[in-house]
Structure 1
Amino acid sequence: MKTIGFIGYGQMNRMLVEGFLQAYALDPKQVIISTRTRDNVTSLIERYPDIILAEDNREVAKVADLLIIGVKPLEVAGVLKEISGIRGEENHIISIAACVSTDLISHFHPGKITRILPSVCSTVGEGISLCYHHPSVDPESATFVEELFSSISTVKKVDEGLFEPAGDLMSCAPALLSRMFLEFASAGSRHSSLTIDECLEMVVSTVFGTALMLQDGVSPEDLITRVATPGGITEEGVKILEKDLPAVFDRLFETTLSKYDLVKKRVADTSRQNI
């Protein structure tokens, strides 16, 4: 039975631990956690007393077969330097930090390396986890990781170079879409006597139903045709979105991809200081 170590207990690692345990993909005895904010783990330990709370990151590296590093991108190099050499190639490192490549991690760790980009949607057992295995990962280890993350999400393997644009579509998207829903509902409230809560309820319920229809195989184009009859009211609204949204989303991707490049440069600079 493999031991899974979690370094850092921020929102994403917290979501993963809770998700894996609730899905019975992991037994509490398999979990060891290291975090600077130990109070954040109190309620988890109360519910799962068999979980091990480590004194530091080195203790996790000594025990865990698989290490899920869930710290901020600029902190990853420091963590890797701290745990480097403890078990050599024995640990399988999984990084969920944005902008930290497996090649960069390989400067610190000679063993197996995987990048995973999860989505907050995994909180409800939905969404996609992007996955890329460094050539150091053997098929058996790759399968274990993919099956673990499949317990809380759909695992999609992509080339590592696609993590940033794909990340906008699945990892950033819950925030981006929520802003869109909120603005749609706010406009409805401004142009009626409906409250913002009433409008948001309508939007969210409709979005949920729309997503189910699309998931069942209805194409976006077909769904638009069903609702937006030629010369009708909905068609007028669709025309506005067709005109204005492409530029909005192009600007969104240009901005976020530029930010990714900036963070990657800062990560590389920090890593050179730690090598």
Structure 2
Amino acid sequence: MKSIGFIGYGQMNCMLVEGFLQTSALNPEDIIISTRTREKVNPLLERYPEIRIATCNSEVAEVADLIIIGVKPLEVTGILKEISGVRDNEIHIISLAACVSTDLLAQIHPGKITRILPSVCSTVGEGISLCYHHHRVTPDCARYVEELFTAISTVKLVKEELFEPAGDMMSCAPAFLSRFFLEFALAGSRHSTLTLNECLEMVVSTAFGTALMLQEGMEPEDLIRRVATPGGITEEGVKILERDLPAVFDRLFETTLSKYDLVKTRVSETFN
């Protein structure tokens, strides 16, 4: 089995390490972690003492076949420069950072490069991980990465230019949907004597069942017609959503895509 390095131990890399271990996709002795905050990994080490902790990022590069970089976009350049020159052609870099293209990464790292965008839903073994391989990645290496992430998610290969809009729908979406559920429940509690927790239970349970029906092949429009009978109460509510939601979601995409462009500009400056 390959030796896998993790640089950074924030929420995403923490989720990945836990998920890979829980699904036996990786063994503890195959993992080496570099983090600026040792306290973050102490609970993990209590359960998996075989995991190695590096004293610096270059130490990870000395032993790992594949390195998953889980830091903020503006920090990626510094990480790559720190490990540059250490087994470059042998290491496969996986970047989780938004707005950092593989072409930018390739300016510093001459070896294999893949971008992965995970979802917090992988915490429960669900959700999608977006994947794009730079042209230097061999078919065998691409297959290994895809199989690794399939242990905790559904891997979807997409063109790199689609990472941002797709990211809104799978990586950002848990926050967007949670906001929607919360506002729905808050409105329910304002218009009844039900508590917020009771309303949340109803909304979340119903959302889960709805997602299952859609996942099993029912089309959204068919499900709407099944529930919202002509002239009925539900149809009146659907009309409000049909009238108001398109503008809300258009504004959401316009705002987030504009922010992506701003971050891309700042990231590019760090590579110059």
**TM-score in terms of structure 1 length:** 0.99
- Between the aligned partners of 1:234 and 1:54, the Cα distance in structure 2 is 58
After superposition, give the CA deviation of every residue in 1:110-144 in whole Å (9 maximum; x if it has no partner).
Answer: 11000000000000000000000000000000000
Paired AA for residue 228 in structure 2? A
**Which residue of 1 is the match for residue 44 of structure 2?**
44
Deviation of the 1:255 alpha carbon: 0.1
Matches within 5 A, 1:258-273: 258-272=258-272
Query: For 1:1-275, what aligned pairs fall within 5 Å after superposition?
Result: 1-272=1-272
Aligned letter for 2:162? L
Classify the secondary structure of the residue corresponding to 2:258: helix
Give the Cα–Cα distance (whole angstroms) in 1 for the partners of residues 105 and 270 of structure 2.
12
Counterpart amino acid of 1:55? Answer: T
Q: C-alpha separation between the residues in 1 aligned to 2:108 and 2:23?
A: 32
Q: Which AA in structure 2 matches 1:87?
A: R
Give CA-to-partner distance per residue, 1:83-108, whole Å, 9 cap, x none: 00111211000000000000000011
Letter in 2 for 1:168: D
Deviations 1:25-63, CA, capped at 9 Å, x for gaps = 000010000000110000101100110000010000111
Q: What secondary structure sits across from 2:130 in the alignment?
A: strand
Q: Tell me, in whole angstroms, the C-alpha distance in 2 between the residues paired with 1:234 and 1:248.
A: 21
Provide the TM-score with structure 2 as the length reference. 1.00
How far is 1:271 from its partner?
A: 1.7
* Structure 2: tracts of 5 or more residues without a match: none
The 3-state SS of whatever aligns with 1:182 is helix
How many pairs align? 272
Aligned-residue RMSD, C-alpha: 0.4
| Distance (Å, rounded) in 1 between the aligned partners of 2:71 and 2:4 | 16
How many angstroms apart in 2 are the aligned matches of 1:154 and 1:69? 20
Corresponding residue SS for 2:62: helix
User: Which residue identity is paired with 1:244?
Assistant: D
Deviations for 1:194-214, whole angstroms, at most 9, x for unmatched residues?
010000000000000000000
AA aligned opposite 2:53 = L
Aligned counterparts of 1:200 and 1:270: Cα–Cα separation in 2 = 44
Letter in 1 for 2:120: V
Q: Give runs of ≥4 in structure 1 deviating > 3 Å.
A: none
Helix, strand or coil at the partner of 1:89? helix
Whole-angstrom CA distance in 2 between matches of 1:265 and 1:81: 19
Counterpart secondary structure, 1:5: strand
Give the Å deviation of 1:270.
1.3
CA distance in 1, matches of 2:163, 2:62: 30
